[in-house]
Amino acid sequence: MGMRFFFAGLFFLTLLFAVGVPAAQAADPFGEIEIREWTVEYGGLPRDPDAVSNSEVWFVGQVGDYIGRLDPQSGAFFKRDLDDEPGPHNLIVGDDGIVWYAGNLSGYIGRYDPKTDHIDKIAMPDPAARDPHTLIFDADNRFIWFTVQNGNFIGRLNPQNNEIDLIKVPTPRARPYGIKQAPDGTLWIALLGTNKLASVHPETLELREHTLPDGARPRRIGITDQGHVFYTGYARGVLGRLDPTSGTIDEWPMPGGSNARPYGMAIDGANRVWTVEGGRSAMFVGFDPTTEKFISNTPVPSGGVTVRHMDYNRDTKSVWFGSDAGTIGQAMVGN
């Protein structure tokens, strides 16, 4: 069952005990998955794609300072330069087609209308929140939730009036990173600078911290339909799972070992977990929570180097990603 921990108490902060740690499991014969990649000719570290449809995939160029769009059917690209050089870190696309992006170096969230080519910039209400990081819509598309990594905040933006609420993370230098919403509405956040996750109540904005095993350094998270919170243990090369109801924590060593550097993560329609190990050559790894076994281990064709964020698209039954090799990729996971 991998490495299991339990924690309890009012805020699940007390780590009680740990049991055995088995060797990393070999991948089951699920088979290598099909991965397609499109090279972004203008480079600029393309990342964090949001697949609107099988013919419209939006992404940002973090170093190139642009918003991009790929048509996977034709292979055609569109590029919208951001002249203020905000180091866009992430984007999401609303049901209305509006593109929202994190102006990471400039302390704002951008709103781009592809129909008019107009951009609005929504500044953080506190200058300490200087680096918006990762954005998500909530389940009702009512609010945009986001992390502020070095500023150490969790944020909530109301797109109707552009008002922003900021929630300070109590642990200093916690580095809020990946963020997802659970089926019960709770927001869960990976605190990369710590061995903790944070949870935020969507209405009261109450924040709680949840302690993980020492040295976890969670980077991205994914949440199953059962409400189990998976995280990539970047520093120790593990895949972890927190059951918020029982407080149980399980960890499994990645196939690539302690230096696997798992980073991007997505959960598919069958509640299987997909993550990518980094290093010289990226490996796309699948995990089945039902059997608690790794089910696939596929090299990213371009080499990938690092895959920082992943997005599962139910319509195409695939996981989209950007790689440091300068590609936008699609992994066909089948559910």
Residue 62 in tokens: 């973090």
- The predicted structure's pLDDT at residue 2: 56
Asked if the model's pLDDT at residue 101 lies above 80, the reply is yes
Determine which of 4-8, 296-300, 304-308, 310-314 has the lowest per-residue pLDDT on average.
4-8
pLDDT digit string, tens, across residues 24-83: 344 444 678 999 999 999 999 999 999 999 899 999 999 999 999 999 999 999 999 999
Tokens 């929630």 correspond to 167
Highest mean pLDDT: which range of 30-39, 145-154, 309-318:
145-154
CA–centroid distance for 245 within its chain: 22
Cα gap 289→272, rounded to integer Å: 6
> What distance separates the 2 farthest-apart alpha carbons in the chain?
58
Distance CA 183, CA 177 (A): 20
Task: Give the mean model confidence (pLDDT) for residues 293-302.
Answer: 95
Confidence tier at 87 by pLDDT (50, 70, 90) = very high
Q: What is the mean pLDDT of the chain?
A: 91
User: What digits encode the pLDDT tens for the residues 251-262?
Assistant: 999 999 999 999
- Cα dist. 104→18, 60, 143, 161 in Å? 38, 12, 19, 21
Closest C-alpha among 145, 246, 140 to residue 183: 140
Determine if the pTM surpasses 0.85. Answer: yes
pLDDT value at residue 304:
82
136 has pLDDT over 70: yes
Whether residue 238 is predicted with pLDDT greater than 50 in this model: the reply is: yes
The per-residue pLDDT for 19 is 27
Q: What's the rounded Cα separation, in Å, for the pair 201 and 265?
A: 23
Half-sphere exposure of 120 (CA within 13 A, CB side): 10
Which one has a higher pLDDT value, 23 or 185?
Answer: 185
C-alpha 101 chain-centroid distance: 14
- Beta carbons of 301 and 33 less than 8 angstroms apart: no
